[in-house]
Chain A
Amino acid sequence: MKTWKKFSHIDARTVEEASSVLRSGKAALISGGTDLLGIMRFEILPTHPEVVVNLKSIPGMDYVKEENGMLRIGALTRLEDIAKNELVRSRYTALAEAAHRTATPHIREMGTIGGNICQLNRCWYFRNPDNRFNCFRKGGQECYAWGGDNRYHSIFGPVKLCIAVNPSDTAPALVALNARIRTNRRTIQAEQFWEMTVPGSTVLAVDEIVTEIQIPTPAAGTRSAFNKFAIRKSIDFPIVNCAVMVGESDARICLNAVFNKPYRAEKAEGFIKGKRITESTADAAGAEAVAAASVLPGDRNKWKIPIAKTMVKRALLACA
């Protein structure tokens, strides 16, 4: 059985305190721990955090409330609580559905929304135990997926030579719902939140911590939906997922697990805006969404393109 590398543990009492520990560059944050502990136990990264800073000990970061024309969700709110929240289900449907389709019930009971949007990307070379593949995303000199088995990888090409995909289910819902992500430093539009770094997946600075998710309350008549394709109905990460929000004259469509970060299908949005959603317009919007898709060497990820198209179509039809 794999043994753990040792680390120290601190229960933070305030966000600032946690941030000050992060500044050392040798610390990692833990909230639900479902991504972090796997990464640490299997030593997938070349470096190992020396200190783990617990955010769960900070009071008042677990809430869902609607005020001042927006929904405010504390970063430490567990996914299951979001999925079951009546308010979220009725007016922010895409997010409730996305939270409900994430991983397993147990992981939803543990995992938080802040952690879900900050999780590292998925690629089986990147995530191989003991840092067996020291790839671009770890500061190495090679992408093993590019010439290897890339059946689950990006259909919209690489970013800085990395073709790993962002596996978050809630991320596309937040982009579709035009959310803002508040940190201890600033407020970031959801679309600008994700970026390829080594080895991270977000634009957060080393000592920056997500504190709150804000979603503007949609206008009356606006509908949103989320759809996910995975090998197994529960447990699995998405092969492709899609969240859409459709208003009278507005449409936002976001795919995930197809690119380095949530992929907003702007062409499809332009196509469907103002149109009545029918079987044929939804299908055409799906085709627009994957018009720019390309296959990686070996054609192994080609199958994801029609799935992405169908996810867009079904998510749109769910809003019809």
Chain B
Amino acid sequence: MPKDKNLEGKEVSGHISRRDFLRDAGLVVGAPTLGTISASAAAAETAEIALPAAAADPGSQPEFIQIELTVNGDVYRRAVEPHWTLRQLLRDQIGLTSPKDWCGGYGACGSCTVIMNGRPILSCLTLACECNGATVETAEGIAKAKHPIIQAYINHNAFQCGYCTPGFVCTAKALLDRNGDPTEADVRDALGGNLCRCGTYQQHPLAVIEAAGNLKESA
């Protein structure tokens, strides 16, 4: 049975009780009958698929999909609604607030970047229900693992207000995972989708290249 950790870091059982379910779903206790938990796979049992109940009647109860994903090494099981984004799941359900919401969900700023299955992706444009089985890494996990990118960012003052920094750090870490010896051009290319309104752009290649050097030394 996979173990969950609650917001205080205490291990809790992976079993989802009715109480957990209501809490996770953000529903008030005492709401009318619960929505059916329909795993998508079950809905797709027949070749000619009947539309799910919610589609036939938009006013019906919300539909929840069970997912299990690994975030920063911990396994989480959650029931998510189809329209929840990964960013919502991470922030509101799991309590990891490093993926930010800046541009409002257009995929235009990169501040919600997380690493999913080795790829730097935008958590605001990723549906949570499609993350079943995924491995996700956020800036919290990168910091907890004492990855050299964190100290390099501090050394080079590669941030001012810090709001965009988790997105930059995740993108940079994903780059270093693939390319242990990036050039300045590689870094600029890889970080091209992250915006910084403080304008710290000059510092990022310095920080990432220093982190790459430190990684090589410690290897």
- A: which residues have CB within 8 A of B? 1-2, 4-14, 16-17, 20-21, 24, 26, 30, 33-34, 37-38, 41-42, 50-52, 54, 56-57, 78, 80, 103-107, 109-110, 233-235
Q: How far is the CB of B199 from chain A (nearest CB, A)?
A: 14
Residues of chain B within 8 A (CB-CB) of A2 are 104-105
From B41, B47, B82, B83, give the contact of A20 (CB < 8 A): B47
**Considering only CB atoms, which chain B residue lies closest to A51 in the complex?**
B55
Residues of chain B within 8 A (CB-CB) of A51 are 51-52, 55
From A4, A10, A110, give the contact of B121 (CB < 8 A): A110
- Known interface pairs A17-B47, A235-B108; A105-B40 also in contact (CB < 8 Å): no
Which residue, A1, A10, A20, A30, has most C-beta atoms of chain B within 10 A?
A10
From A5, A56, A103, give the contact of B130 (CB < 8 A): A56
| Chain B residues within 8 Å of chain A by Cβ, number | 43
From A1, A6, A24, A105, give the contact of B51 (CB < 8 A): A24
At the interface, yes or no: B49 with Cβ under 8 Å from chain A? yes
Q: How far is the CB of B81 from chain A (nearest CB, A)?
A: 7
B176-214 Cβ-contact flags toward A at 8 Å (1 or 0): 000000000000011111010000000000000000000
Q: How far is the CB of A28 from chain B (nearest CB, A)?
A: 12
Residues of chain B within 8 A (CB-CB) of A7 are 54-55, 82-83
B122 A106 Cβ-Cβ under 8 A: yes
B107 A233 Cβ-Cβ under 8 A: no
Which of B5-13, B58-66, B136-144, B156-164 lines the interface with chain A?
A: B58-66
Q: How far is the CB of A190 from chain B (nearest CB, A)?
A: 26
A6 B47 Cβ-Cβ under 8 A: no
CA distance A5 to B125 in the complex (A): 15
A107 B48 Cβ-Cβ under 8 A: no
B44 A8 Cβ-Cβ under 8 A: no
- Known interface pairs A1-B104, A37-B105, A106-B171; A9-B127 also in contact (CB < 8 Å): yes
A-B contacts, 27 of them at CB < 8 A, read A1-B101, A1-B104, A5-B83, A9-B127, A12-B44, A13-B41, A13-B44, A14-B47, A16-B47, A21-B51, A26-B55, A30-B127, A33-B127, A34-B125, A37-B125, A37-B127, A38-B107, A41-B105, A42-B106, A50-B58, A54-B127, A78-B119, A80-B119, A106-B121, A109-B119, A110-B125, A234-B192
CA distance A7 to B129 in the complex (A): 12
Q: How far is the CB of B118 from chain A (nearest CB, A)?
A: 9
- Known interface pairs A1-B104, A17-B44; A9-B192 also in contact (CB < 8 Å): no
CA distance A109 to B110 in the complex (A): 12
CA distance A110 to B47 in the complex (A): 27
Residues of chain A within 8 A (CB-CB) of B108 are 235
CA distance A24 to B83 in the complex (A): 20
Residues of chain A within 8 A (CB-CB) of B191 are 105
Q: How far is the CB of A27 from chain B (nearest CB, A)?
A: 8
At the interface, yes or no: B97 with Cβ under 8 Å from chain A? no
A-B interface, 3 closest residue pairs, ranked by CB to CB distance from nearest = A104-B193, A234-B192, A9-B82
B110 A104 Cβ-Cβ under 8 A: yes
Residues of chain A within 8 A (CB-CB) of B122 are 34, 106-107, 110
CA distance A107 to B130 in the complex (A): 16
A4 B83 Cβ-Cβ under 8 A: yes
At the interface, yes or no: B43 with Cβ under 8 Å from chain A? yes
At the interface, yes or no: B70 with Cβ under 8 Å from chain A? no
At the interface, yes or no: B98 with Cβ under 8 Å from chain A? no
Residues of chain A within 8 A (CB-CB) of B135 are none
Residues of chain B within 8 A (CB-CB) of A103 are 107, 193
At the interface, yes or no: B126 with Cβ under 8 Å from chain A? yes
CA distance A38 to B127 in the complex (A): 12
At the interface, yes or no: B166 with Cβ under 8 Å from chain A? no
- Known interface pairs A1-B104, A11-B44; A106-B193 also in contact (CB < 8 Å): yes
- Known interface pairs A38-B106, A105-B120; A10-B193 also in contact (CB < 8 Å): no
B105 A8 Cβ-Cβ under 8 A: no
Residues of chain B within 8 A (CB-CB) of A106 are 107, 110, 113, 120-122, 171, 193
CA distance A235 to B194 in the complex (A): 9
Residues of chain B within 8 A (CB-CB) of A54 are 40, 127, 130
A20 B48 Cβ-Cβ under 8 A: yes
From A6, A13, A17, A107, give the contact of B107 (CB < 8 A): A107
Within B86-117, the residues touching A (CB, 8 Å) are 101, 104-108, 110, 113
- Known interface pairs A17-B44, A54-B130; A234-B104 also in contact (CB < 8 Å): no
